[in-house]
Amino acid sequence: MLRVISLTLVAVFAVLATWCAIAAADPQPGDDLVTCRDRQADTQARAQACDNLLNADRVTGKDKAVALSVRGNALINKRDYVHAIETLSMAVDLDPDNVVTLNLRGLAHERTGQDDLAMADYNLALQKRPTYGVPYNNRGIIQLRRAALQSALDDFNLSIKYAPKFLLGYTNRARVRTLMKDYDGALADFAEAEKIDPTAQQIAGNRCITYGMMGKFDQALADCNGLIEKQPKNTYAINNRADVNTMKGDLDAALKDYNTAIQINPNNVRAHSGRGQVYERRKDLAQARADYRAAAYSLTKFDELDVARARAIAQERLAALTTQTPAGAPTGRRVALVIGNGAYRNVHALPNPPRDAKLIANVLRDVGFQTVISVSDLTRDKFFEALKTFADEAEKADWAVVYYAGHGFEIGGVNYLVPVDAKLAADRDAETQAVALEQVIAAVGAARKVRLVMLDACRDNPFAPAMQHTLSLKLVDKGFSNIEPGAGFMVVYAAKHGETAMDGDGGADSPFATALAREIKTPKVEIRKLFDIVRDDVWGVTKHEQQPFSYGSPPGREDFYFVAGK
């Protein structure tokens, strides 16, 4: 009898152990693992669940790959593409066959301007699952940006074939059909998209252009107007309406819309390119060139289709309107804009920048710069006014140099210089209250040889403690992000990207300004070498706490000197 009881107890314990194992392997609804695995779960809840698992190191293998993939997607939504790629690459290592992860990494590569890597990821995802519709769409967008219209059309056809409820497949195919002048096909695609989601903004926003190219301006404007009424700050729709008005010949209405788009986002490439075309048609060539420069020299790493086309137009028209050597212009002319912002109204003031700016301005005058515009404590309006004035000077010069000292930092992948009247209650305010670095680079863009921007501005973000975070932007507490300026441009940071620059102690000039002012006056030091010396000087005097960094370079076939020597 005891033997029978013992066997029975063993059986009971075995059953209980099995139940426990099943429970451990298959969590009940509400557990983080269940939520993290659930593709239909609320996006934020799923991301939080996956983060909980990763932070507690509670997942391995393919479950960890899924959690990393969800985290990578969240980083893409925050525009933190560098960390997204790192995270998604770890997920791919754990589960190389996860096509969703490969597609996401391709998207992150695309957003950093690495189209070849993006295409490799999309191709690999499709090789593993040829019926996966989304990568066909994403690959088609790259083909469309490259103006390979037939290849783009083929990819969108496959996207729709394998994902017939994927709205973007239809709206993107409508865009390529519009460019191929297959307007009936485009309108049919918009009609199919409306069956999926009649409220989707991509339909009216893009159909507006299709109707415009057909000459059906009333229908085009009805589409754009309806979307703008719902979303008054939708710069994509505003630019589309401006483009339609330009097609229609209503330049006043087009100009009003482009101005509105620039007011919302002063760095809007499409608006500057479009406004430049309006000014060119009105024979205001100086303003046209200024707008084309702003569009042509933007530092945006990733161009949406319409942005890429607008930038190409701006570059082409700028080259056509810019003569290499204007008649009567002096040769060897060098000009500079020197800015020192210290008297900030809404955060602590900086005593050094106006003093550093005065030092650099005097040195540039001493070494023979014909024009040195030296200004301090600029509001945002005054900042743009100074850049416009200087851009006019740069058009007549061989060298155009900007030195800026003050607050500056990166938000959402964009480097900003901070006017003294900025409030920056939320990170999204940077677009409308600060000045993007690309606007400064555009101001030096017309110079014939040396285009140099020096930023003694890589300080802690004083607005960060109280600044509201938004879902779409990554907030950085200090320093600038690295950049890739165009050919013939040189941008020098007082501190390496992601690091901070120091002010001088006890009323002294900053380490960067001090070293720069000293080395500029040294004869026969080529400009590239000069900034290597400045880097070493600052690195030494700050005891390896601050390291200046240079991006880009002047044209490579000639040497350039602040002081040429005898």
pLDDT of residue 155: 96
Q: Which domain holds residue 91?
A: 2-128
**pLDDT range class, residue 171, cuts 50, 70, 90:** very high
Distance CA 155, CA 182 (A): 17
CATH number of the domain encompassing residue 463: 3.40.50.1460
> Could you tell me what percent of the chain has a pLDDT over 90?
63
**pLDDT range class, residue 557, cuts 50, 70, 90:** confident
Does the pLDDT of residue 20 top 80, yes or no? Answer: no
**Which one of 461, 488, 515 terminates a domain?**
488
Does the pLDDT of residue 11 top 70, yes or no? Answer: no
pLDDT of residue 137: 96
Q: Is residue 107 in a domain?
A: yes
Distance CA 411, CA 431 (A): 9
CATH number of the domain encompassing residue 90: 1.25.40.10
**pLDDT range class, residue 474, cuts 50, 70, 90:** very low
Backbone angles phi, psi at 357, to 5 degrees: -65, -40
**Which one of 427, 462, 488 terminates a domain?**
488
Mean pLDDT of 454-480: 69
pLDDT of residue 121: 96
pLDDT of residue 325: 45
pLDDT of residue 302: 57
Question: How many CB atoms neighbour CB 280 within 10 A?
Answer: 18
pLDDT of residue 327: 40
Structure tokens at 139: 């690959």
pLDDT of residue 286: 85
Specify burial of residue 39 (Cβ count, 10 A radius: 0-12, 13-18, 19+).
exposed
Q: Is residue 236 in a domain?
A: no
Does the pLDDT of residue 195 top 60, yes or no? Answer: yes
Assign 3-class secondary structure to 378-398. CCHHHHHHHHHHHHHHHCCCC
Mean pLDDT of 431-437: 88
Does the pLDDT of residue 12 top 50, yes or no? Answer: no
Structure tokens at 125: 């995802």
Residues listed for the chain: 566
Q: Is residue 235 in a domain?
A: no
pLDDT digits (tens, 9 = 90+) for 285-316: 988 988 898 888 776 655 577 888 888 899 89
* Closest-CA residue to 106 (of 78, 62, 69, 157): 69
pLDDT digits (tens, 9 = 90+) for 250-288: 999 999 999 999 888 888 899 999 999 999 999 999 889
Mean pLDDT of 472-476: 47
pLDDT of residue 505: 57
Does the pLDDT of residue 122 top 70, yes or no? Answer: yes
Poorest-pLDDT segment among 58-67, 168-177, 276-285, 471-480 = 471-480
Please write down the long-range contacts of 86-91, taking CB distance under 8 Å and 24 or more positions apart.
Answer: 91/64, 91/65, 91/66
How much is the pTM? 0.70
pLDDT of residue 432: 85
pLDDT of residue 503: 66
Do 338 and 357 contact (CB within 8 A), yes or no? Answer: yes
**How many domains does one find in the chain?**
2
Q: Is residue 370 in a domain?
A: yes
Q: Is residue 281 in a domain?
A: no
**Which one of 488, 513, 535 terminates a domain?**
488
487 φ/ψ sector (left φ>0, alpha ψ -120 to 50, else beta):
beta
Mean pLDDT of 236-254: 96
Q: What is the mean pLDDT of the chain?
A: 86
Mean pLDDT of 353-358: 94
Query: Amino acid identity, residue 23?
Result: A
pLDDT of residue 323: 59
pLDDT of residue 82: 86
Cα distance between the two ends of the chain: 114
Q: Is residue 175 in a domain?
A: no
Distance CA 425, CA 431 (A): 12
The set of residues, in sequence order, having a beta carbon less than 8 Å from that of 87 and lying 6+ positions away, is 68, 71, 72, 75
